């Protein structure tokens, strides 16, 4: 056995240790040293009276060839590893969250099945709606569907944690993606995401950027503002943002083919279950209200938690940004989608989740009944 095989990353704690080590699924997180970028880490709202986990990191800048790549690699291959061929096409498990509109879901799943140089495997979670029967018929006729559950109510994005816990136990692949089921993806997005994760040992999570085509002026402003606030200096950042030719380190993004190793997803979920450690973030939907609390399974927490607690860099794939199909429907006030979303009270749902996360993190109703039906 190699003497470094059981070597773990050293941690130092303020006050008393957190239970993060108990959340970790094994040596994949603690047992491998990952080079750290010398660039700035995102700001954190620090409460000195709470438990804080900090990792000792190298002061040296991150250099791609230090990650163990062949010294004779070509310049093309060293561009995030995109030129390095797969020995064989990897499996790519995608957990998809969908609701209401069969036409939207059909286009999104077709896009996943068109991803090149990977073997897509779809795990679909449906939020209950007036069109659930039609959606069920669609999912059962869609190629490469490996799993399918139907929520008994519409829990929206607040159900991500129990959805992930259900499907992860059935997935053996190294890389797992989660995504909202109303996007169209670039055909080589998955290939580039996986190669980037393989090439840079410090990167833990990466998603494809969202295109701004068809986005209202208000939401375009909000998206651009969030991107500016979340972007971090890193020597690997593209010089051509928004449809450029590379990747950008960023702690703010949506659920856009968001990909990480299964072991790191499990670490994140375990920390949610343990409600430990707390970290600096902000209130859902209200970024001007800083908070110091345990993580929630929400995009505003996800990427920053990977960066500041798990010390796993967060990037977005800039190439050919994903297209948000529902912008076609939401901007039409007479569409079924627009009317149903308005009556549901989507933004109020954010507050419901944050005010009572324990309810949404439990797969069972108080009666003991499962909150979803397992169809596949």
Residue range 60-115, pLDDT digits in tens: 333 333 344 444 455 556 689 998 889 899 999 999 999 999 999 999 999 999 99
Q: What is the pLDDT of residue 75?
A: 59
In a domain, 16, yes or no: no
Q: Report, as an integer, the average pLDDT of 294-314.
A: 96
Q: What is the pLDDT of residue 215?
A: 87
In a domain, 236, yes or no: yes
In a domain, 71, yes or no: no
What's the pLDDT tens digit per position in 138-148?
Answer: 999 999 999 99
In a domain, 104, yes or no: yes
In the predicted structure, residue 41 carries a pLDDT above the cut 70 = no
In the predicted structure, residue 57 carries a pLDDT above the cut 70 = no
7-21, 67-81, 87-101, 357-371: which has the minimum mean pLDDT? 7-21
For 80-106, b/e burial (b = at least 16 CB within 10 A) is bbbebeeeeebbbbbbbbbbbbbebbb
Q: What is the mean pLDDT of the chain?
A: 81
In a domain, 325, yes or no: yes
Q: What is the pLDDT of residue 77?
A: 61
Q: Which of 301, 298, 299 is nearest to 310 (CA)?
A: 301
Q: Give the Å distances, CA to CA, from 178 to 87, 164, 232, 251.
A: 25, 9, 23, 16
Q: How many domains does the chain have?
A: 1
What's the pLDDT tens digit per position in 243-287?
Answer: 778 999 999 999 999 999 999 999 999 999 999 999 999 999 888
In a domain, 253, yes or no: yes
Q: Which of 88, 96, 127 is nearest to 113 (CA)?
A: 96
What's the pLDDT tens digit per position in 168-226?
Answer: 999 999 999 999 999 999 999 999 999 999 999 999 999 999 998 888 888 889 888 88
CATH classification at residue 159: 3.90.550.10
In the predicted structure, residue 4 carries a pLDDT above the cut 90 = no
Give me the domain span that covers residue 144: 96-335
For 229-249, b/e burial (b = at least 16 CB within 10 A) is ebbbebebbbeebeebebbbb
Q: Give the Å distances, CA to CA, from 252 to 186, 226, 228, 292.
A: 20, 6, 9, 17
Q: What is the pLDDT of residue 162?
A: 97
Relative orientation angle of helices 346-355 and 336-344, to the nearest 10 degrees: 40
Q: What is the pLDDT of residue 5?
A: 37
- Give the C-alpha separation, 24 to 309, whole Å: 12
In the predicted structure, residue 167 carries a pLDDT above the cut 60 = yes
CA angle (324 as vertex; 323, 330 as ends), nearest 5: 145
In the predicted structure, residue 46 carries a pLDDT above the cut 50 = no
In a domain, 87, yes or no: no
């Amino acid at each position: 056995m190699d003497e470094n095989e059981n070597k773990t990353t050293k941690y130092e704690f303020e006050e008393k240790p957190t239970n993060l080590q108990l959340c970790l699924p094994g040596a994949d997180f603690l047992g491998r040293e990952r080079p750290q970028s010398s660039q700035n880490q995102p700001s954190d709202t620090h409460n000195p009276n709470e438990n804080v986990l900090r990792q000792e990191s190298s002061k040296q800048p991150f250099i791609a060839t230090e990650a163990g790549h062949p010294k004779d690699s070509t310049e093309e291959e060293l561009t995030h590893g995109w030129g390095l061929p797969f020995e064989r096409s990897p499996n790519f498990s995608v957990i998809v969250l969908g609701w209401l509109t069969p036409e939207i879901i059909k286009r999104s799943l077709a896009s996943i099945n068109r991803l090149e140089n990977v073997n897509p495997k779809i795990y679909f979670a449906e939020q209950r709606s007036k069109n659930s029967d039609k959606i069920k018929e669609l999912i059962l006729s869609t190629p490469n569907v490996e799993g399918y559950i139907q929520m008994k109510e519409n829990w929206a994005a607040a159900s991500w944690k129990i959805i992930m816990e259900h499907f992860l136990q059935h997935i053996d692949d190294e890389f797992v993606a989660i995504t909202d089921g109303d996007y169209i993806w670039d055909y080589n997005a998955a290939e580039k995401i996986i190669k980037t994760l393989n090439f840079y040992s410090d990167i833990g999570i990466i998603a494809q950027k969202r295109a701004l085509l068809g986005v209202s002026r208000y939401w375009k402003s909000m998206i651009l503002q969030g991107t500016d606030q979340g972007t971090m200096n890193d020597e690997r950042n593209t010089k051509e943002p928004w449809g450029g030719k590379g990747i950008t380190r960023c702690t703010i993004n949506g659920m856009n083919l968001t990909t990480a190793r299964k072991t790191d997803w499990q670490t994140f979920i375990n920390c949610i279950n343990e409600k430990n450690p707390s970290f600096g973030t902000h209130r859902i939907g209200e970024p001007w209200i800083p908070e110091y609390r345990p993580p929630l399974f929400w995009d505003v927490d996800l990427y920053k938690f990977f960066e500041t607690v798990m010390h796993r860099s967060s990037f977005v794939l800039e190439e050919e940004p994903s297209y948000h199909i529902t912008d076609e429907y939401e901007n039409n006030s007479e569409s079924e989608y627009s009317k149903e979303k308005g009556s549901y009270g989507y933004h109020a749902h954010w507050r419901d989740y944050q005010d009572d996360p324990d309810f949404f993190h439990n797969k069972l109703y108080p009666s003991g009944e499962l909150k979803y039906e397992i169809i596949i």
